[in-house]
Every structure is written in C-alpha cells, then in structure tokens.
Chains A and B, each alone.
Chain A
C-alpha cells in the first residue's frame, strides 16, 4: 500500500472513531441543559439528579470526543499537506474560527460545569451547561461549513497556484452548508435521544428508579421525535441538493450507470463496478430517483457512464450507506411516533422498551453511514471538481504512516473499549441514591 491509501485509511479510521462520540456530545448536552433548566424553574430535585446522572455519561463520552478531535486538526497538516497548502486560505480559516469561537467556550465551561455543582447557584450552573451545549453545536456548524466547502467550493478563485478566498460571506452562507448543518446536527440529536431512551428502557424493564427514567425517557422521546421529523423532511431536500451540486455522488449512491429519463430507485441492487452495471436489481420504484433529484418523475438523471471514468466515485459503499441511512431514518421516525402514543404507559409496553434498548446502536450506524456517503461519494475529489484526493497527500514515507496507522488502531481500540466499558457500567448502575422532597413537588418546600 502506498502513502495515499494508508493516509486515507488513517483519516477514515480517525474520523470514524471521532464521529462515534461527537453526536452524543451534541445532543446530550442539550438534553442535560433542558433537565437543569426544568430543575431551576420548578425546583424538582429529580431533574437535578437526572442532569448529574446523564452528565456523568456525558463527561466520559466528551473526554474521548475532545482528544480524538485534536487528531483531525493535526492530520490535515501531517497527512494532507498539499491539500492544506492548496486550500488553507479558506479551509484553514474556518477551522481556526471554530477553535476560537466555539471550542474554547466548550472546553472551558465544561470544566466549570463539572467542578461547579457546589460553587455556583443552580441558575448559573444551568447557564454553564447551556454554554457548553451552544458551543458544541456552534462548533459543528463551523466544521460543517468547512466540509460543505469541500463538497461544493464557492467564493474562491484559483490564484498563485492555490485556492484563494474572494467572498467569505458566500462560503459561510451557501445553501450546501445550511443543508449539511441541519442534516448532520439533527442526526446527532436523534442519536442522543435514542441513547437516553435506550438506557432508560433498560432500567424501566427492571423496574428500577422508574419515575426518574420515565421522565428521562419522555424528554428524550420528544426531542428525538422532533428531529426525526426534521430529518425525514429535510433529507428529501438534501437529496435534491446533491443532485444539483454533485451529480456523480447521486449516480453512485443510486448505482445508476445509464442516463435515464424517469429514473427509478431500486430498493436493492448489487453494483458490479468492474463491468459498469448492476448484477442484480430488485424492487424498482418507477420515477422515484427523478422525483428525488428534480421533483419531477419525468426528469432525466445522468448515469455514471456519462462521466469520465476517473471522475467517478466508488459505487458500492455510497449505495449501501445511502440505503442504511435512509432506512434507519424512517425507522427512527416510526419508533418515536409509536413511542409518542405510548408515552403515558411506557412500563406497560415492555416490548417497545426492549426494542428501544436494542435500538441504541442504530443511530450510530445511521450517522456513520451518512458520513460515509458524504465523503466516499465525493471521491475522487477531496474538493469537488477542484482538487483530487490523490494529489492532496503529504510527501511522507510509507513506514511513517504505517507506524502511526497501527498506533491509531491500537490506541483507539483500547480507548474505545475503556470508554464503552465505563459508559456501560455507569449506565447500568443508575443514579446515585438521592432524596426527593416529593415526587413532583418543589425543593423550596423541602
């Protein structure tokens, strides 16, 4: 394997791992902030205990998310130096803005929150977690603006042998960024909702701390339901966006080889990339792809064969990722809708609770699949239409990258195992014993 492939593997592995932790940070911080706000408003101590319990899981997750994020910033320079040199004028600025505007806020106030339970007034303490939650999502916004620029570069000119910024506002406000932000952040919020529901279901099935976990479950349910709706509605618009901006990605994620009028969508197919066809095609929905791409069942969709062979992305991975993501997206909507009608009697629906417990990994899979589609579907470009991934890699040696790749796999596996073990232990243990004045009453009366 050459430096390019090793670097791609390393970047993929490091990003995949980082992205296991980021979505939960984004969503859970908001849920905890809501819990603390309810506590401040009503004085119901149970919500304070909820914030503490979920907060502990949050901190374990946060620690890994933060340290693995440093890797990503380093890697643009270490492994993709030609990319950094070529687009740093734009891309580098966006990362620097993210650090100074959002990451500082998040990292500084998470410590205030963790160490400040007894030092701050409840109100001030709730403010700190809102700062963390806001900063986390703001951080995602800047990273996604940077990524959107790789997907659809705007506001630049090629000058002095590199891409130079000409219109900052265009970069920040382009619609590709807006779509990606809503899509990715909603996906993260759904994940956090399912995480809280799943862990709560575990305890509800065991009849432990039922009041505590019913409240947690219902809050997470409402949260996940809202964003499951947003995701399905916006996902459709996102499809049209891809069709307009990245026709090769669209053709790859549908494994469409021939240009077709009234193009169908296949529920299932086995792409045969070598022979530029599908071995098996099954479950055609007539005109569905034309509809998704152009809101018109009669529209013509360009097939892969009409693009130069060296500008086509891999097909199988985007095709599968897309189906997993969309299928799960609809499943999340169905589950949260069902849950919404059963929310008054969760304990009376052990079957549903069991499903929700085992559904914890599903949003993780959906988030990673979406990322896979976005990044693999963009290939062979690192910046769509501007720079190819193969020309972006650093002038480094195979042994260097091989060593770091092996080290990443080892260290990340160990950290992943430790984090999983720690989270599972604390999740199963449930909240520390606590006293509540009354089931629903205010702490002021206690």
Chain B
C-alpha cells in the first residue's frame, strides 16, 4: 500500500518537474529563434529569471525521492543511464551558470559564450529527459543483477528519440505560451506568430507518439488487463492529454494566454502520468526479461522509511507549492522592455 502511494508521488513529482522546468527549458531553446536584439534576449531571460532556479529543485527532489523511496531503482537508473545523466548534468550546470553570469559580464564575447550555453543547456536536457523516459516506458536492458546492458547509443533508439522529440515539442510550446503570458513588445509578437505552428507540430508528434507507444511498449497492456483498476486512467488520462491539447489551441486562438498555459501544463502532467501509470507496478521494466524489472516491491525502502518520508512529503510539498505559488503570483506582471533593460542586480 505504502509502495503504491509512493509510486503515485514519484510520478507526480516528475510530472510537476516537467511542467515547471519545461517552460524555462523551452524558453532557453527558443532563444535563438525569438531573440535577435539584446533587449529581446533580456526580456526572455527576465521572463524566467525569478523561477528557473526554484523549478530545477523539483528535479533534485524527484531524484531525492527516488533515492529515498526506491533506492534500488535509484541505483540502477542512475548508474545504468550514466552517460545520458552526465550529459543532462553538464548541460544544466552550464545553463545555470550562464543564465546568472551573462547578466554580470557585459563583454560581447562572453555574452556569446553564455548565450550558446543557455541554448544547448536548455535543449539537451529537454531532449534527453524525453529519451530517458521513453526508454523507461519501453523497458531498458536490465539483467538479473539489475545491471544495465546497453549504452548511450542503445538509448537513442527510434522510440527513445521519438520521446525526446515529444518532450522538446511540449517544452517549446510551453515556453512559448509562458512568453505570451510574461512579456510585452516584440518578443510577445514573435511568440504569438509562432504559437500555432508549435501547436500543430506538437499535435502531430503527440498523436504519433501515442500510436508508436502501442507498438513499442507494454504501457497499454496495463490498462487493458486491469479494466476495473484502470478505468480511471484509461478514461481520465487520455481525456486529459487529448482534451488539454485541444484546449491549448482553443485558448491560444482566443488570446487567453494564461488559460492556454495552464492547459499546456495539464498536457505535460497528463503525458507523464499516462506513461507512469502504464508502468505500474514497475519503475524500470527490463526489456530482457520481465522478471528482472525494478518494481515498487523489489526496490522500495523499508516500511518505516516509507512512512516517515510520507509524513515529510505530505507536510512539506504542500508548503513548497504554497510559497512557490505565492512567488509566481508575486512576479506575475508581464516584463516590459524598459524593465528588462535595467540591470536587475
């Protein structure tokens, strides 16, 4: 029972991480397409300035919770996906420093270096997180000892890459909508011109991915085999995913940017949970033999730890959500070009 609760929390934490960091990774990737002038760059940076750092902590927490609740899964996942995780790590390190240092080093050469770090450091994690999760959905080559028998290139299989492309597309649209919410002037105009194209691309990719998932993974089996238990996810989650996708378009068409952004958030959460719920009770299915899979039963912490950590999570996660929501609300006014041009620090 506790294991199942932690499974849900585990999925939710990753979903929240993708939903929040998704828009700033998207903005970083959009940078070269939407920002030509220094002012435009500053507007885009300012639009994610107060948030990206707090968003990234959800990744730390998702990782930390994997470690605490399912230590064996954490051990297998992080050592197995070594090279991919190292790439994500270096990308996030360079990106974080670049966002901070470009503000404080006004020499054009330095700015160029940091700008490249921001773009690469945003695109690469978006892509690789998608690749990693798609691989988890289809199963990774784990042997009887839980040792990963693949490498970075075996992760870059067609379905894995498809997952990467899906994540990039979701984050681009999510970031674009955030710019429509949080900016004024030329950046907003360009974002408005781009948003429908991004939506169309995402719709095609998302539908393609759902179909590919039928052939490449066993996610649907879970839904089909347990009709009673999965009546909720089979109706709700596809409904949320498809419904959210449609709502993004509807709201964007009307220029209701906040609503469109929330719909896009629901889409990201829905896609993540669709995949995660299909895994249950596996955390890391083995593609070599289902018996070698990491499940919530063979990789969980002791009952005592799960209980204590549940208390911690149920106390502090709502607190975190409350103050982060306060911060989002506090800085909700769109960034003006004049405001972006003055040094914030």
Contacts and interface: CB of A to CB of B under 8 A. Distances in A.
Nearest to A411: B90
A108 interface: yes
B61 interface: yes
A103 interface: yes
Contact of B57 (A91, A93, A107): A107
A400 B87 CA distance: 12
B85 interface: yes
A386 to B, nearest CB: 15
Nearest to A63: B100
Contacts, number: 209
Given A92-B301, A168-B304, A400-B83, A84 B312 contact: no
Nearest to A404: B86
B327 A111 contact: yes
A374 B113 CA distance: 38
A178 interface: no
A95 B327 CA distance: 25
B72 A74 contact: no
A99 B64 contact: yes
B93 A71 contact: yes
**Residue among A66, A159, A419 with most chain B CB within 10 A:** A66
Interface stretch (A75-83, A180-188, A273-281, A322-330): A75-83
A426 B78 CA distance: 39
Interface in B140-171: 145, 147
A415 B278 CA distance: 41
Interface string A45-83: 000000000011001100110111011011011110110
B57 A99 contact: yes
Given A55-B345, A92-B64, A115-B344, A97 B86 contact: no
Nearest to B324: A108
Interface in B12-69: 49-51, 53-54, 56-57, 59-61, 63-65, 67-69
Contacts of A77: 63, 67, 74-75, 77-79, 85
B316 A107 contact: no
A404 B82 CA distance: 9
B68 A114 contact: no
A109 B316 CA distance: 16
Interface in B301-333: 301-302, 304-305, 308-309, 312-313, 316-317, 320, 323-324, 327, 330-331
Interface in A31-54: none
A422 B64 CA distance: 32
B104 interface: yes
A108 B57 CA distance: 9
**Residue among B79, B145, B344 with most chain A CB within 10 A:** B79
A82 B79 CA distance: 9
A396 B51 CA distance: 35
B92 interface: yes
Contacts of B63: 73-74, 77
Contacts of A93: 68, 301, 305, 308-309
B317 A100 contact: yes
B231 interface: no
B101 A394 contact: no
B304 A396 contact: no
Interface string A382-400: 0000000000001110001
Interface residues of A, number: 67
B68 A96 contact: yes
Given A66-B53, A96-B312, A78 B79 contact: yes
Given A64-B97, A78-B86, A111-B54, A89 B78 contact: no
Nearest to A408: B90
A76 B101 contact: no
Contacts of B54: 104, 107-108, 111
A255 B74 CA distance: 39
Nearest to A131: B323
A110 to B, nearest CB: 7
Given A59-B100, A82-B75, A92-B74, A111 B50 contact: yes
A85 B75 contact: yes
A119 interface: yes
A418 B97 contact: yes
Contacts of A78: 78-79, 82, 85-86
A56 B313 CA distance: 34
Interface of B: 49-51, 53-54, 56-57, 59-61, 63-65, 67-69, 71-72, 74-79, 82-83, 85-86, 89-90, 92-94, 96-97, 100-101, 104-105, 145, 147, 301-302, 304-305, 308-309, 312-313, 316-317, 320, 323-324, 327, 330-331, 344-345
23 contacts: A55-B345, A63-B101, A71-B89, A73-B63, A74-B86, A92-B69, A96-B67, A99-B57, A100-B312, A100-B317, A105-B323, A108-B57, A108-B323, A108-B327, A112-B327, A114-B344, A115-B50, A115-B331, A395-B145, A396-B79, A404-B82, A407-B90, A422-B104
Given A60-B104, A77-B77, A415-B97, 4 more contacts: A90-B305, A168-B304, A415-B93, A418-B105
